[in-house]
Amino acid sequence: MNEQILLAERPKGMPTKDTFKYEKIEMPTAKEGEVLVQTLYLSVDPYMRGRMNDTKSYVPPFELNAPLAGGIVARVMESKSDRFKEGDIVTGMLPWKRYSAAEAKNLQKVDPELAPITTAIGVLGMPGLTAYFGLLEIGQPKEGETVVVSGAAGAVGSVVGQIAKIKGARVVGIAGSEDKIAYLKDELGFDEVINYKKGNVKEALKEALKEACPNGVDVYFENVGGEISDAVVSLLNKFARIPLCGQISLYNLEKQDVGPRVQTPLLINSALMKGFIVADYADKFPEGIKQLGEWVQQGKIKYSENVVEGFENVPEAFLGLFEGANLGKQLVKVAE
C-alpha cells in the first residue's frame, strides 16, 4: 500500500496537526513517458503556508482533500522513459506521497557523486537558488557595503549571508537563538548577528541594529516582515536595495498586518524594494547551480540540514518552521 498526506482544512492562523490527514492509497503505476518513484527526502518550506489559503498568489492554492506537494528527492523504481533508468536519483515538485508516478520531463537527475542528494532540495536547489538570484540580481552587494539578512539561520538566509561575504560585504544577520547566532558567526563568518528575541523588538532590535550597522544598511534581504523589517528599513542608506523574498512573521496572522508605511523611507533614500520568486530566474538555474556547487566544493559556502525521520512526522517538521525550530534546511527523511 501507498500513503499520502492531504490538506484536511484551510487553517485560520497557525496550522495544527488537524490541518493534515493521512490516507492509505493504492500503489501507482507508471504510464508511457512516466517513472515510478519512491520518496527518499521531502522538503517543507514556509511558502507552503500561503498555498493553504484559498487566495490568489504566484502559485495556485493547495486543493482541499488533495495531497500537498513540494520539493522531493526520490529513487526511480520503474521507468517508462528513456530519460531515466531504474535506480536513478531524481528531484522535482511532487505530491506528499511515499510513491508517485511522475512525468519524466518534470524531473531532474541528481548526481550523488557531486554532493549529498539532500542538497538538491537545499543549498543546490530552490533555497540556494533563491538566495543566489535574490541577492545578486536585486541586492547587487558591493565590496564594503553592509548587507542585513533576516531569517539568517534559515535555508535561504544562511546562503545569502555567505554569498554577500564572498562579494566582500559586511554581513549582519538577524536570528532567534544564541545557538543560531554562534553558528552564523563562528561557522559561516557573519560579521554580526542580532538575537531579535532579546527584549522588546521595536526598541531593542533597532538599537542593536544601529550598533551593528554604524554606516547604515545598503542591502536588506527580507525574509520575515513585521517589526523586524520596520527596524531595518529605518536605517536604509541612499540607493539601498531590498530583495523581498518572504514574510514568515505574517503568514499565520488572521488579520492584515498594519505597521509603519515603507514608502517614505524608500522615497527619501531613492531605495529599491523588489519582490521576487525563484522561478523568475528559471532560465538561469544552470548558472546558479554551477556556481553554488563550486562554492560548496571550495568550502566558501557551508550548509546545515535539520532532518526529521519518518513520513508520519511531516506535519511536525512543517509546523516547526514557524517556531524557529530549524537551523538551515528543514527536511524529512522518508526512506533509505
pLDDT tens digits, 171-229: 999 999 999 999 999 999 999 999 998 766 667 888 999 999 999 999 999 999 999 99
Residue 26's H or E segment, with its range, is: none
Alpha-carbon distance of 110 to 46, in angstroms, equals: 24
- Tell me the pLDDT tens digit for each residue of 216-260: 999 999 999 999 999 999 999 999 999 999 887 776 666 777 778
The full length of the chain comes to 336
Q: State the Cα–Cα distance between residues 56 and 50, nearest whole angstrom.
A: 10
Residues of the chain with pLDDT below 50 are: none
**203 dihedral zone (left: phi>0; alpha: psi -120 to 50; beta):** alpha
Candidates 335, 332, 243, 245; CA nearest to 42 is 332
Q: Which residue has the cell 554562534?
A: 182
For residue 261, the model assigns a pLDDT of 87
Strand-pair category, 34-43 with 99-103: antiparallel
DSSP secondary structure string for all residues of 185-209: IIIT--SEEEETTSS-IIIIIHHHH
How many of the other CB atoms lie within 10 Å of CB of 114?
Answer: 14
Using CB atoms within 10 Å of the CB of residue 95, give its burial: 0 to 12 exposed, 13 to 18 middle, 19+ buried: middle
pLDDT for 253 equals: 62
pLDDT of residue 201: 61
Other residues' Cβ atoms within 10 Å of the Cβ of residue 69? 19
CB 10 within 8 A of CB 212: no
Distance CA 123, CA 114 (A): 13
Task: Quote the CA–CA distance of 208 and 296 in Å, as a whole number.
Answer: 31
CA distance 86 to 100: 14
- 331 CB burial (10 A radius; 0-12, 13-18, 19+): buried
Q: Which residue has the cell 529599491?
A: 272
Tell which residue, 209, 153, 203, has the closest CA to residue 177.
153
CB-CB contact of 172 with 245 (8 Å): no
- Please state, in angstroms and rounded to a whole number, the distance separating the CA atoms of residues 106 and 34: 9
Whole-number pLDDT of residue 43: 96
Q: Which of 94, 90, 157 is nearest to 128 (CA)?
A: 157
Nearest CA to 120 among 153, 73, 163? 73
